[in-house]
Amino acid sequence: MMRSDLLVFDEYVFGPVLATPVYTSAIHNLALAAYDSLAIFAVVDQATGSGSLMVNVEHSSDGRFWLLKNPSNLEINGGWNAFVANTPAAMWGYARGGLGPTLGHARLKIYFSAGGINGHVRIHVTMRDPRTLA
């Protein structure tokens, strides 16, 4: 069941790639870690180039050292979520609880598939936990 829905990222970013990603604010770390199932909805607009948005969930026990929650897959992956310059595009992905429990802190790692792309990125997360009751 749905327990929370948050706008976790709403910024104009300048060329983040895998080597230099941007992250959700630390104020969301505890909320993102509270539930093991996350539905992630992203919108990219005002992009200066064409490419794909990539989003990973990372988690940590201390909020300082981070690990990928799902090392074998991105939650939002390039290819099917491509966008074109100056054309708004929406995409979604999810992180399932079946990958094991989430550590005490979680954040989203956000970057573009290619360098030199700037754009406005907005990410909403709906958090669910089937183990909890209404």
User: Does residue 134 belong to any structural domain of this protein?
Assistant: no
User: Does residue 55 belong to any structural domain of this protein?
Assistant: yes
Number of independent structural domains in the chain: 1
Dump pLDDT digits (tens) for 13-54. 998 888 899 999 999 999 999 887 888 999 998 889 888 899
The backbone torsions φ and ψ at residue 28, rounded to the nearest 5 degrees and listed phi first, read -100, -5
8 A C-beta contact, residue 18 and residue 115: no
8 A C-beta contact, residue 91 and residue 81: yes
Burial 66-94 (b: 16+ CB within 10 A, else e): beebbeeebbbbeeebebeeeeebebbbe
User: Does residue 133 belong to any structural domain of this protein?
Assistant: no
User: Does residue 57 belong to any structural domain of this protein?
Assistant: yes
Predicted local distance difference test score (pLDDT) of residue 121: 94
Q: Which domain holds residue 113?
A: 2-128
User: Does residue 83 belong to any structural domain of this protein?
Assistant: yes
CATH number, domain containing residue 32: 2.60.120
Dump pLDDT digits (tens) for 51-80. 889 999 999 999 999 999 888 788 888 666
Euclidean distance between CA atoms 20 and 33, whole angstroms? 23
Question: Global pTM?
Answer: 0.88
User: Does residue 62 belong to any structural domain of this protein?
Assistant: yes
